[in-house]
Amino acid sequence: MKNVTVLAGGVGGARFTRGLLGHLAGVAPEAAVTVVVNTGDDMWLDGLRICPDLDTVMYTLGGGINEEQGWGRPAETRRAAAEIAAYGRGWSWFTLGDLDLATHIVRTDLLRSGSTLSEATDFLCRRWQPGARLLPMSDQPVETHVRLAADIDEHRAGELMHFEEWWVRYRAGIAVTEFVQVGLADAVAAPGVLEAIENADLIILPPSNPVVSVGTITAVPGIRSALRSTPAQVVGVSPIIGGAAVRGMADACLHTIGVATSAEAVGLHYGARAAGGLLDAWLIDVTDAAALPVLAAAGIRSTAVPLWMTDLPTTTAIAAAALDLGA
Amino acid sequence: MKNVTVLAGGVGGARFTRGLLGHLAGVAPEAAVTVVVNTGDDMWLDGLRICPDLDTVMYTLGGGINEEQGWGRPAETRRAAAEIAAYGRGWSWFTLGDLDLATHIVRTDLLRSGSTLSEATDFLCRRWQPGARLLPMSDQPVETHVRLAADIDEHRAGELMHFEEWWVRYRAGIAVTEFVQVGLADAVAAPGVLEAIENADLIILPPSNPVVSVGTITAVPGIRSALRSTPAQVVGVSPIIGGAAVRGMADACLHTIGVATSAEAVGLHYGARAAGGLLDAWLIDVTDAAALPVLAAAGIRSTAVPLWMTDLPTTTAIAAAALDLGA
């Protein structure tokens, strides 16, 4: 096992990858991990470029994450954000911490000076030393939006809203009819992404949101076909346990695209590689073991193990099970 | 007395203007004060647009200034700046406070979105309500640089350094041969500046740095000729008392342009309007009363009063004396 590539969103992908690195340090210290990170949640706020998933992965792997909330920095303050609000700017529902703000300032400065997002990410990681190579899925902005149903205001039905507003401000609690990736048509995979898929010994879809994290990454032109043609095994880890999302409001996302919130349904949604889908194998929780025959019938090799990432040892064990399943 | 226009730098000009507003509130509540502010110290730092003099004037007049240091906000912290430094960015000798940072973020966001500096300043002042109209001298960037002598490194002789680096990092302690206003040739006075000079009932050059504050403002194309042709009286207040600068390293600036550090020399450097200079009148400190005959002989009407702005009442009295001298 030399090269492992993970396609990750925020908290779930970050925590899984931390467990993966912990496991590999013991069994395959020579292994190199590449994390292709969703940038569909990225946005401009107060003129600063915010990359929620890249930062969550970087802080988690680099030892700078707020463990309780899963994102942002520990011992954070919000003095600058309160001042920005006093000017009548900013978003009251998306508060930037003073420590976190520095990351956005440095990144934005690099981008404004002509660096790509890949280069800016590489620069930021020189400080955090995450122990894995972090690649944005694309250097072009691809921003996920939701198309509003008539739920909050019938006059706004059909309008687009940035995913982060829907997710953070409305807690995914208003009806939407679809997800739209603005900028997707003009985007290409960032340098190294297709190579990381083509040259991997194993590819893992961690327990990230299947719609707006893994789904967005695989929608970037070229990535899905690279996943289908790579000689590596592709192993997914279910983000759904016992009919509920491990974290966040993934059920609202799945509902919008007409997929049930179950480990079985998400596995079938990804689909078997042999049948044009993404998965060779699918790791589900013991609670969902009843789905194993259906998954097997669909051509997806599956195993059921405990999937709650309650701490580093349990997460390391999940990563070990994913590696076993892909072997 | 309806319209008073002040051409100001940072701390000295800000404090004088606060006294002026205090005085006018009692004797001429209908008077409107316009402050044309030096922007030659402006700079980009970490991708943010910093305007030291505009902020000092805005915070001072708006009740948000750190009184002890004369600039920045009170009860400031520097958490974001420490993080920026941890990324190896920023300038260790120019630390941005977390509260102050918000002003730079909002301003930069407005500028990046297409607002002019005048418009951005107007927006920021809506919060601070400074009680005077603040105008940047120009909406175009005009950044003061110093040309290095061979003092710190003979190989750097002749190079340009941003004024703020010379002033803050080196405390104006290394030899320079001249001041260069980068961008000056392409700059025009900001909207309202020439009108504020032409339509004023009184114009005041407050105790700001005569070289890099007042000197820079008057170097903007059109401003000097407007000052010479306005029907208003132009009254200056000496920033030099007893042969020393009231604040800062103005002596180093004066030395560079070959002017002695004295109230008399600065008055003669500004010159009598009747002889092609800037001043109708010049307010000096009682310590410097010996200069009165020389100034009178040069065609500059002068008076000597206590000029130390130790608190608001003394500053108000200085403003009253300046108004009397201009009457």
Residue-wise pLDDT for B84-105, tens only, equals 999 999 888 888 999 999 999 9
| Neighbour count for residue B142 (Cβ, 10 Å) | 23
Contact B264, B302 (CB under 8 A): no
Residue B81: predicted pLDDT:
96
Confidence of residue A257 (pLDDT cuts 50, 70, 90): very high
Residue A277: predicted pLDDT:
97
* Yes or no, beta carbons of A124 and B87 under 8 Å apart: yes
Q: Mutating which of A79, A89, A103 best tests the B interface, going by the most B Cβ atoms within 10 A? A: A79
Confidence of residue A129 (pLDDT cuts 50, 70, 90): very high
Q: What angle do CA B160, B165, B167 make, to 5 degrees?
A: 105
Mean pLDDT of B135-152: 93
Taking phi over 0 as left and psi of -120 to 50 as alpha, with beta for the rest, A151 belongs to: alpha
Contact A13, A35 (CB under 8 A): yes
Q: Give the predicted TM-score (pTM) of the model.
A: 0.95
Query: Average model confidence (pLDDT) for chain B?
Result: 96
* Yes or no, beta carbons of B84 and A99 under 8 Å apart: no
Contact B182, B149 (CB under 8 A): no
By Cβ distance, the residue of A46, A98, A127 closest to B80 is A98
Confidence of residue B77 (pLDDT cuts 50, 70, 90): very high
By Cβ distance, the residue of B83, B103, B124 closest to A102 is B83
Residue B154: predicted pLDDT:
77
Confidence of residue A156 (pLDDT cuts 50, 70, 90): confident
Whole-angstrom distance, CA of residue A33 vs CA of residue B104:
38
Mean pLDDT of A259-265: 98
Domain ranges of chain B: 3-139+186-326, 143-182
- Measure Cα distances from B246 to A276, B107, B208, B319 in Å: 78, 30, 9, 16
Tokens of A176: 């939407």
Nearest chain B residue to A75 by CA distance is: B79
Q: Kindly report, residue by residue over A311-325, the tens digit of the pLDDT.
A: 999 999 999 999 999
Q: Is the pLDDT of residue A171 over 90?
A: yes
Contact B96, B79 (CB under 8 A): no
Q: Kindly report, residue by residue over A182-224, the tens digit of the pLDDT.
A: 999 999 999 999 999 999 999 999 999 999 999 999 999 999 9
Q: Is the pLDDT of residue B69 over 90?
A: yes
Q: What is the ipTM of this complex?
A: 0.94
Residue B153: predicted pLDDT:
75
Which of the residue ranges A139-153, A280-294, B52-66, B105-119 would you say has the lowest mean pLDDT? A139-153
Residue B194: predicted pLDDT:
98
Q: Which phi and psi angles does B33 have, rounded to 5°?
A: -110, 130
Confidence of residue A116 (pLDDT cuts 50, 70, 90): very high
> Residues of A with CB below 8 A from B98's CB?
77, 79-80, 83, 98
Tokens of A107: 């990144």
Residue B300: predicted pLDDT:
98
SS3 state at A195 = helix
Within B92-250, strands assigned E span 133-136, 143-148, 160-162, 176-182, 202-205, 233-237, 240-241, 244-245
Residue B1: predicted pLDDT:
78
* Yes or no, beta carbons of A113 and B86 under 8 Å apart: no
The dotted CATH code for A3-139+186-326 is 3.40.50.10680
A115-123 own/partner pairs: CB under 8 Å, 24+ apart = A116/A190, A116/A191, A117/A39, A117/A51, A117/A190, A118/A190, A118/A191, A118/A192, A121/A51, A121/A54, A121/A58, A123/B87
Contact A33, A21 (CB under 8 A): yes
Q: Is the pLDDT of residue A151 over 80?
A: no
Q: Is the pLDDT of residue A153 over 80?
A: no
* Yes or no, beta carbons of B89 and A109 under 8 Å apart: yes
> Residues of B with CB below 8 A from A101's CB?
80, 83, 101
Q: Is the pLDDT of residue A233 over 80?
A: yes
* Yes or no, beta carbons of B99 and A112 under 8 Å apart: no
Q: Kindly report, residue by residue over A86-109, the tens digit of the pLDDT.
A: 999 988 888 899 999 999 999 999
Tokens of B318: 């200085």
Tokens of A310: 């309650």
Tokens of B209: 């740095």
Q: pLDDT above 70 covers what percent of chain B?
A: 99
Residue B285: predicted pLDDT:
98
User: How many CA atoms, within 13 angstroms, populate the side-chain half-sphere of residue A122?
Assistant: 9
Q: Kindly report, residue by residue over B194-213, the tens digit of the pLDDT.
A: 999 999 999 999 999 999 99
Contact A194, A223 (CB under 8 A): yes
Mean pLDDT of B286-313: 97
Tokens of A326: 């892909």
- Residue B278, classified by CB atoms within 10 Å of its CB into exposed (0-12), middle (13-18) or buried (19+), is buried
Q: Is the pLDDT of residue A154 over 90?
A: no
Q: What angle do CA A278, A279, A282 make, to 5 degrees?
A: 145
Residue A94: predicted pLDDT:
87
Query: Average model confidence (pLDDT) for chain A?
Result: 96
State the nearest Cα–Cα gap between B64 and chain A, in angstroms: 12
Residue A95: predicted pLDDT:
82
Residue B207 per-residue DSSP state: S
Whole-angstrom distance, CA of residue A246 vs CA of residue A268:
18
User: How many CA atoms, within 13 angstroms, populate the side-chain half-sphere of residue B230?
Assistant: 29
Which of the residue ranges B17-31, B52-66, B241-255 would you say has the lowest mean pLDDT? B241-255
Strand partners, A162: A145
Question: At how many degrees (to 10) do helices B98-112 and A79-86 cross?
Answer: 50
Mean pLDDT of A6-26: 97
Confidence of residue A155 (pLDDT cuts 50, 70, 90): confident
Residue B213: predicted pLDDT:
97
Mean pLDDT of B62-79: 96
Whole-angstrom distance, CA of residue A316 vs CA of residue B99:
42
Q: Mutating which of B44, B77, B105 best tests the A interface, going by the most A Cβ atoms within 10 A? A: B105
Taking phi over 0 as left and psi of -120 to 50 as alpha, with beta for the rest, A114 belongs to: left
Nearest chain B residue to A105 by CA distance is: B46
Mean pLDDT of B36-56: 97
Q: Exposure pattern of A277-308 as b/e (b: 16+ CB <10 Å)?
A: bbbbbbbbbebbeebbeebeebebbbbbbebe
Contact A91, A82 (CB under 8 A): no
Tokens of B300: 């500059």
Closest CA to A7 of A134, A129, A107, A100: A134
